[in-house]
């Protein structure tokens, strides 16, 4: 429920567009020398041009908004056309006919700009100011409207390292960090995660445009598309509004996953209380010369949803009785017999054999009466947000325009545990979500722009952006491993991280104290010259980014239990049989990275009906530079030749560092100078009337990895130490596997000799950057004054996509052996296959003396690719008669290999099958291994359907009818799509290679993979089986569909006129107005008997 109090009308922005056209007399003869003037009616801004010998004119770099176009030539009547509204990056072509007569006579016409694009081959959609103001937006986040443009998928908030308002958007098969954001023409991307910085709230946004595929050479930086936003600015009249939006849980539907209130017999609601309030004001400082615009939005939220479902140990389990939880009553896979070798008899065990530390923790958990251990719990969060914005525009003279805009966005909340009554479950975020920890975030964005009109045919634009962001995570003070008797050292006191597959978790590594502080200084310069039938453009962009980070994701020693020992994850927990124990020193980064691009392009009007666009963009890639030289690389040739580092002589043979012979500078990679991207497009106006166009285009673009990509590299010696233990015991992780605890360590005196089997992630120095071919064919037709339809074919092929591979796997040559039994590798027999993982690694088998200093040795490959083919159908009706709508439907296919460019580097989401760095295969053989991971793209939905619409009631002449029926407006957004591609995970290291359980897949053993479609039976569990030990799963990556979704958001508005220039607006909004159930994805971990195939949450796309 939303209530809005609004006064006055909106103000116009200053972003850029241009008007092109032709002028002829009544016989059709072209008229050179005609003076053409465009006047922005709200500010008095003027721009003048003169037609050339073909009667053509171009008015360049015009601020968006309403215009009057005037044309005059001696011997002809003057011409004036009003009603032209320029939108962001639009290129309307206006044809003018002058009539013979006196110059003092003026022919005035009313006419809007054409809807058909006849110059630019790119595919673009504008979200107008009327739509931004009218359409309902959950949380008033303008970024939520991007996906309504078509062919776009919202993958959600990227991570806890991101701004909370950030959305990961993938357009037309692009990567989810592949969109370049511009705010008032200045760079507005967060260099750290590659996505958007905070966008202004709706009252401060004029409009925005989304473009993709075959963009001109001026656009780059990202391969997926460009999102150009324009803020409002002042005019010659004062405009403004104040608003208050209130939302309360009493109007929200309850979640079917919420627990039941025993007092009422009804389910608990989500407890949401949100207030968003503020206002904007714009006007003149000096009439026709200097204007201002200021605004503020504050948000106060409190929420205690009761829709988090998990499983905890039952009282029977704590008493040693596992018979119920191991039965078909609690397991989709049927009855399970627990191992007698561990002390079980008829699925019962002596409680004295349980882990003392695990029992202590279990007793701290809330209790449940469910025989399977299911429990629902809630988290209370209280975010506070502030967002001021200000802008000044100065028309210095007819040749120079300046503007400056500053925006600050802050977010703060305490950890959920602090507000949740001491429930330790509340300290952990549900799978795929974040927010259990606290946040203290500030994002600054400053843009300064100058437009220099050198002549009627030459214009230069300069934009400077300064973006500074600080994201600080905080966590609650609870208890740590030492507090429950675990023999280990934690770098984060009184904090514990336990993950039990398909069951409860305590805290999350991504919610520990950490900070991420990226900054970017960016400059762009664009020069445009019109000469005859050509519009030339040259320019470039450059930026310098730096970021400092500290993360404690694994500093507290994350512990995971996955059921690989007993068959029950909760059984492994209570017996203290860890799947993996992983600990590292804090990760710290101090990185800089430059960016540079140069381009040249030409829009060549071959005839009145055909326009050719061509150009090229040079976009070299500069690797990240570590200020403290904390990069390294691995070379197997150095191992074979026994070549040690000269910088760190004690380092294991095979490693080399900045300063060593052959190491590329302080980056570890070579600069890629050869990134030249051609662009080519053709636009045909077959009728010559601007009402039909056929456009074809091709373009190549680069897509660079984000700032956080190399995040995990800081865990390697001597900059840090990360250790992974498998098969260790909870109460004594190090002692149970015969190891000495190496922590704490001093960064200045790294314990090379005792730091066994650490983690390394290496990147080839000559790795190629990701590139993308895009092409399209579009047909567009305008009907009448306000309606246009289009059909567009979109194609993309992305290559050299980066992904992570295990290069030093554990080897086993006895498939079928149990994990805890003996196994053979490299001619050696190991008594326990699990605890011998590090000894079974390839490098250890080759040379144990060297191999003991290498555990996980992962590397990055550029062998990935993605291929997208899609059809986009759209209908647009411009505002007229009080009604406007836009609808689009996309059907597509997308497949490829692993895509991990957003980072951080993590083999857990990388390739399933290792590729040896020790005995590397040929390139062709390696590619066959990679191709085993071929599957549908992560950020892809086969069907996407969007509708936005707004309708206003007419102004009736009858007084009674006007009072009752005028001033109403109803608006809505419909979104629907097919489901997310899903991978069926083994949930355990079936290959015995050490690969993480999330990466290994199950086998498909039956054709009927889906259940009855209910929330408890989405997948048919009997259609899948774990791969035999020592082998890799054969099911297809992303080969299975999650549930689709559809939702309708509605807004009902009534305006009450206070005076001729002021009004009050009452507004009611309903999100998911028809209360359609929007399920989240089902559990895909086959080893989790409690959650596999079950849906236990709403989709993140859902709005209760």
pLDDT number for residue 585: 87
Instruction: From 209, 212, 177, select the one nearest 196 (Cα to Cα).
Output: 177
CB distance 380 to 306 below 8 Å: no
- Region 138-148: mean pLDDT is 91
Residue 1104 has pLDDT above 60, yes or no: no
Summarised one tens digit per residue, pLDDT across range 606-630 is: 998 999 999 999 999 999 998 888 8
Question: How many CB atoms are closer than 10 A to CB 529?
Answer: 17
Contact, 908 vs 996, CB < 8 A?
Answer: yes
**pTM: predicted TM-score of the whole model, two decimal places:** 0.88
Calculate the average pLDDT of the chain.
Answer: 89
CB burial of 423-441 (b: ≥16 within 10 Å; e: otherwise) equals bbbbbbbbbebbbbbbbeb
Helix residue spans in 152-299 (DSSP H): none
- Interval 915-935 mean pLDDT: 91
Which pLDDT value is given to residue 1100? 58
Phi and psi dihedrals of 736, rounded to 5? -70, -20
The 10s digit of each residue's pLDDT in 654-702 is: 999 999 998 988 888 999 999 999 999 999 999 988 999 999 999 999 9
Alpha helices in 177-268 (DSSP H): none
Does the pLDDT at position 355 exceed 90?
yes
Residue with tokens 């246009």: 788
Residue 17 φ then ψ, to 5°? -150, -175
What is the percent of the chain where pLDDT is above 90?
58
Reported as a single tens digit per residue, the pLDDT across 64-109 is 889 999 999 988 888 999 889 988 888 899 999 998 877 767 667 7
The CATH number of 16-110 is which of 1.10.10.10, 2.60.40.10, 2.60.40.4130, 3.10.150.10?
2.60.40.4130
Which distant-in-sequence residues (6+ apart) come within 8 Å of 762 by Cβ? 632, 633, 634, 807, 857, 858, 859, 860, 917
Q: Which residues contact 723 (CB under 8 A, 6 or more apart)?
A: 582, 583, 584, 742, 755, 756, 757, 758, 759, 855
Query: 312 pLDDT exceeds 50?
Result: yes
Report, as an integer, the average pLDDT of 489-499.
88
Sign of CA dihedral 164, 166, 169, 175: negative
The residues, any chain, with a CB within 8 Å of residue 266's CB and separated by 6 or more, are: 254, 260
Query: What tens digit of pLDDT does each residue of 383-411 get?
Result: 999 999 999 999 999 899 999 999 999 99
3-state secondary structure of 208: strand
Q: How far apart are CA 640 and CA 651, in angstroms?
A: 15
Closest to 163 measured CA to CA, from 401, 469, 422, 436: 469
- Say what the pLDDT of residue 694 is: 96
- Per-residue model confidence (pLDDT) at position 156: 82
Given a cut of 60, whether residue 14 has pLDDT beyond it is no
Q: Is the pLDDT of residue 1101 over 70?
A: no
Q: How sure is the predictor about 739, in pLDDT bands with cuts at 50, 70 and 90?
A: confident
pLDDT digits (tens, 9 = 90+) for 152-189: 999 887 777 888 888 889 999 999 899 999 999 999 99
Q: What is the pLDDT of residues 524-570, one digit of tens each?
A: 999 999 998 999 999 999 999 999 998 888 888 899 998 989 999 99
Domains of the chain, residue spans: 16-110, 309-377
Which tens digit of pLDDT belongs to each residue from 267-278?
A: 777 788 999 999
434 pLDDT higher than 60: no
pLDDT at 433: 53
**Residue range 46-69, pLDDT digits in tens:** 899 999 888 899 998 899 889 999
Please report the pLDDT score of residue 955 as a whole number: 87
Backbone phi and psi for residue 101, each to the nearest 5 degrees, phi listed first = 160, -170
Q: Among 477, 510, 558, which Cα is nearest to 730's?
A: 558
Q: Is the pLDDT of residue 1103 over 70?
A: no
Output the pLDDT for position 432: 44
Strands (DSSP E) contained in 483-623 are 498-500, 505-506, 514-531, 534-551, 559-561, 580-584, 587-605, 610-618
Of the two residues 990 and 775, the one the predictor is more confident about is 775
Whether the predicted pLDDT of 10 surpasses 50: no
What tens digit of pLDDT does each residue of 751-760 get? 777 777 888 8
pLDDT at 262 over 70: no
pLDDT of 215-255, one tens digit each? 999 999 999 999 999 999 999 999 999 999 999 888 888 87
Query: Any idea which of 114-118, 129-133, 439-443, 903-907 has the lowest mean pLDDT?
Result: 903-907
- Using the structure block, give the residue that is written with the tokens 């191999």: 851
pLDDT at 904: 76
Instruction: Give the pLDDT score at 569.
Output: 94
Of 473-482, 597-606, 828-837, where does mean pLDDT reach its minimum? 828-837
Task: Give the pLDDT score at 9.
Answer: 36
836: alpha, beta or left, given left = phi > 0 and alpha = psi -120 to 50?
alpha
- Cα 695 to Cα 678: distance, rounded to the nearest angstrom: 17
The predicted pLDDT at position 826 comes to: 67
Burial (CB count <10 Å: 0-12, 13-18, 19+), residue 673: exposed
């Amino acid at each position: 429920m939303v209530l809005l109090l609004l006064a006055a009308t909106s103000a116009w922005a200053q972003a850029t567009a241009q008007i092109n056209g032709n002028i002829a007399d009544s016989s059709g003869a072209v008229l050179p020398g005609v003076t053409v003037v465009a006047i922005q009616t709200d500010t008095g801004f003027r721009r003048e041009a003169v037609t050339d010998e073909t009667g053509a004119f171009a008015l360049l770099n015009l601020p968006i908004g309403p215009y009057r176009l005037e044309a005059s030539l001696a011997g002809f009547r003057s011409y004036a056309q009003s009603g032209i509204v320029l939108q962001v990056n639009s290129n309307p072509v206006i044809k003018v006919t002058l009539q013979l007569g006196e110059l003092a006579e003026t022919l005035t016409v009313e006419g809007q700009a054409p809807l058909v694009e006849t110059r630019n081959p790119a595919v673009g959609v504008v979200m107008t100011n009327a739509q931004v103001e009218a359409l309902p937006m959950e949380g008033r986040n303008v970024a939520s409207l991007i996906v309504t443009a078509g062919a776009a998928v919202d993958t959600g908030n990227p991570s806890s390292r991101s701004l909370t308002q950030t959305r990961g958007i993938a357009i037309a098969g692009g990567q989810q960090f592949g969109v370049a954001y511009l705010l008032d023409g200045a760079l507005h991307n967060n260099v750290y995660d590659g996505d958007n910085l905070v966008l202004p709230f709706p009252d401060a946004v004029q409009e925005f445009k989304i473009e993709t595929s075959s963009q001109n050479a001026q656009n780059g930086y990202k391969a997926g598309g460009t999102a150009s936003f324009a803020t409002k600015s002042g005019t010659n009249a004062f405009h403004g509004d104040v608003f208050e939006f209130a939302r309360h849980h009493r109007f929200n539907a309850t979640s079917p996953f919420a627990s039941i209130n025993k007092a009422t017999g009804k389910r608990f609601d989500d407890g949401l209380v949100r207030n968003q309030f503020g206002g904007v004001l714009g006007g003149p400082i000096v009439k026709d010369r200097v204007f201002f615009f200021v605004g503020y939005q504050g948000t106060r939220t409190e929420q205690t949803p009761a829709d988090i479902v998990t499983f905890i140990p039952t009282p029977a389990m704590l008493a040693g009785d596992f018979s119920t939880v191991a039965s078909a009553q609690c397991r989709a896979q049927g009855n399970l017999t627990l191992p007698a070798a561990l002390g079980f008899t008829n699925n019962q065990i002596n409680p004295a054999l349980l882990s003392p530390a695990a029992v202590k923790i279990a007793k701290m958990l809330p209790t449940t009466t469910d025989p399977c251990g299911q429990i629902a719990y809630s988290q209370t969060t209280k975010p506070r947000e502030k967002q001021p914005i200000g802008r000044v525009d100065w028309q210095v003279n007819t040749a120079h325009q300046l503007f400056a805009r500053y925006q600050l966005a802050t977010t703060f909340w305490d950890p959920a545990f602090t507000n949740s009554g001491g429930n330790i479950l509340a300290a952990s975020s549900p799978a795929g979500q974040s927010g259990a920890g606290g946040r203290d975030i500030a994002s600054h964005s400053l843009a300064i722009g100058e437009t220099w009109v050198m002549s009627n045919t030459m214009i230069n634009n300069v934009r400077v952006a300064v973006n500074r962001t600080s994201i600080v995570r905080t966590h609650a003070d609870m208890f740590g491993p030492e507090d429950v008797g675990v023999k280990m050292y934690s770098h984060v006191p009184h904090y514990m991280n336990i993950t039990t597959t398909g069951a409860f978790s305590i805290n999350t590594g991504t919610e520990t104290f950490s900070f991420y502080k990226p900054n970017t200084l960016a400059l762009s310069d664009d020069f445009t010259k019109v000469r005859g039938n050509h519009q030339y453009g040259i320019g470039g962009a450059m930026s310098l980014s730096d970021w400092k980070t500290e993360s404690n994701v694994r500093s507290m020693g994350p512990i995971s239990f996955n059921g690989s020992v007993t068959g029950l994850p909760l059984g492994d927990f209570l017996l203290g049989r860890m799947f993996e124990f992983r600990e590292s020193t804090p990760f710290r980064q101090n990185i800089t990275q430059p960016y540079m691009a140069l381009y040249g392009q030409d829009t060549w009007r071959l005839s009145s009906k055909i326009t050719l666009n061509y150009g090229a963009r040079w976009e070299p890639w500069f690797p990240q530079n570590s200020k403290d030289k904390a990069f390294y690389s691995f070379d197997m040739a150095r191992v074979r030749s026994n070549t040690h580092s000269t910088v760190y002589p004690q380092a294991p043979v095979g490693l080399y560092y900045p300063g060593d012979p052959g190491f590329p500078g302080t980056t570890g990679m070579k600069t890629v100078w050869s990134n030249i991207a051609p662009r080519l497009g053709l636009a045909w106006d077959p009728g010559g009337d601007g009402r039909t166009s056929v456009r074809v285009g091709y373009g190549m673009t680069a897509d660079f990895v984000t700032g956080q990509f190399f995040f995990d590299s800081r865990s390697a010696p001597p900059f840090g130490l990360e250790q992974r233990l498998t098969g260790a015991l909870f109460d004594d992780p190090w002692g149970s596997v015969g190891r000495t605890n190496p922590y704490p360590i001093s960064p200045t005196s790294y314990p090379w000799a005792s730091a066994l089997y650490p983690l390394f992630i290496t990147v080839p120095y000559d790795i190629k950057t990701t590139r993308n071919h895009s092409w399209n064919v579009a047909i567009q037709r305008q009907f009448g004054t306000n309606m246009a339809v289009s059909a567009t074919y979109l194609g993309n092929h992305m290559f050299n996509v980066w992904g992570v591979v295990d290069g030093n796997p554990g080897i086993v040559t006895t498939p079928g052996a149990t994990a805890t039994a003996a196994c053979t590798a490299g001619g050696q027999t190991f008594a326990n296959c699990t605890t011998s993982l590090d000894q079974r690694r390839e490098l250890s088998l080759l040379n144990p003396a060297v191999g003991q200093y290498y555990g996980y040795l992962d590397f990055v490959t550029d062998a990935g690719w993605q291929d997208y083919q899609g059809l986009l159908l759209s209908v647009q009706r411009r505002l007229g008669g009080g009604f406007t709508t836009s609808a689009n439907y996309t059907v597509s296919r997308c497949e490829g290999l692993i895509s991990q460019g957003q980072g951080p580097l993590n083999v857990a989401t990388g390739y399933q099958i290792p590729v040896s760095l020790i005995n590397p295969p040929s390139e062709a053989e390696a590619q066959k291994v990679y191709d085993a991971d071929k599957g549908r793209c992560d950020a892809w939905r086969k069907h996407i359907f969007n509708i936005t619409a707004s309708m206003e009631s007419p102004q009736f002449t009858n007084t009674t009818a006007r009072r009752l029926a005028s001033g109403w407006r109803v608006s809505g957004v419909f979104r629907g799509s097919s489901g997310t591609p899903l991978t069926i995970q083994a949930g355990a290291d079936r290959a015995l290679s050490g690969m993480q359980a999330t990466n290994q897949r199950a086998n498909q053993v039956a054709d009927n993979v889906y259940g009855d479609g209910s929330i408890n039976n989405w997948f048919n569990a009997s259609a899948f089986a774990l791969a035999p030990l020592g082998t890799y799963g054969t099911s297809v990556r992303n080969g299975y569909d999650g549930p689709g979704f559809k939702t309708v958001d509605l807004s009902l508005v009534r305006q009450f006129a206070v005076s001729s220039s002021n009004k009050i607006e009452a507004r009611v909004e309903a999100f998911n107005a028809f209360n359609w159930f929007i399920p989240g994805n089902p559990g895909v971990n086959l080893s989790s008997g409690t959650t596999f195939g079950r849906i236990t949450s709403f989709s993140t796309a859902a709005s209760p």
